[in-house]
Amino acid sequence: MRSPPTSPTSTTPRRWAVLCTSALLSLAGCATTPAFDTQGVDRGITPSAAADNPQAVRGKRVLWGGVIIDTTNLEHSTQIELLAYPLDSEERPQLAAKPLGRVLVEKAGYLEPVDYAQGRQITALGTLDGTQAGRVGQSDYTYPVLRAKQVHLWQQRSGATRTHFNFGIGVIFH
């Protein structure tokens, strides 16, 4: 015996369910928040406090973020001068808040200065390793040094917030 033919209306809800499930799974895979291992991170240490008392915080794990001022490639690492800001719930710098001070972020290996350009935002996870003397304009400045294990370069935000739909394999929202 053959089963009766299915009508178009009986398969439509099933098709919609499959389509919606696929779209939701695609969205879950497009998470923009980086995964930082924040276990042991001391969120109470600010860049200015680390510069004032480097011996007390040496070796402490911190998660700091901000705006890149300058990027310099060294022989075996990349040094990023960063103006730090408080982080939001996604660990992205909150540029509307008051800056917390300047930091030198050192990451082993080569980071492309065109990508890590002035004005871009990063969040870095690592350990504090003392301070380094420098200058900001004509003023002396003491930078805390963050030896980064992980650096996340944030996507640049456009001036207007718009939702884009791209169909193909999954759905992506920008």
Q: Residue range 57-76: average pLDDT?
A: 98
pLDDT top residue among 138 and 164: 138
Question: What sign results for the dihedral spanned by CA atoms 78, 83, 86, 87?
Answer: negative
- Give the DSSP H/E element, type plus range, for residue 57: helix 54-57
- Band (pLDDT 50/70/90 cuts) for residue 157 is confident
Which residues touch 149 (CB under 8 Å, ≥6 apart)?
A: 125, 126, 127
Lowest mean pLDDT among 55-64, 81-90, 150-159: 150-159
Window from 24-38, 39-53, 63-77, 110-124 with minimum mean pLDDT: 24-38
**What is the rounded average pLDDT of the residues 15-30?**
46
* Residue pLDDT, tens place only, 131-147: 999 999 999 999 999 99
Does the pLDDT of residue 172 top 90, yes or no?
A: no
Which tokens sit at 29? 């895979």
pLDDT tens digits along 29-44? 444 678 999 999 999 9
The closest of 59, 78, 37, 33 to 127, measured between CA atoms, is: 59
pLDDT classification of 2: cutoffs 50, 70, 90: low
Percentage, residues of the chain above pLDDT 90: 70
Residue in 76, 140, 142 with CA at minimum distance from that of residue 104 = 142
State the pLDDT at residue 160: 46
Q: Using CA atoms, how far apart are residues 174 and 164, in angstroms rounded to an integer?
A: 6
Q: What is the pTM of this model?
A: 0.73
Describe the chain by its helix, strand, coil percentages, rounded to 5. 20, 40, 40
Give domain limits for the chain: 47-153
Q: What is the DSSP letter of 77?
A: E
Q: How many CB atoms lie within 10 A of CB 120?
A: 15
The two tokens of residue 14 are 């099933």
According to DSSP, the residues that pair with 26 across neighbouring strands are: none
The architecture (CATH level 2) of 47-153 comes to: Beta Barrel (2.40)
Band of residue 28 on the pLDDT scale cut at 50, 70, 90: very low
| Mean pLDDT of the 5-30 span | 50
Quickly state the pLDDT bin for 167 (edges 50, 70, 90). low
Measured from the Cβ of residue 84, the count of other Cβ atoms closer than 10 Å reads 25
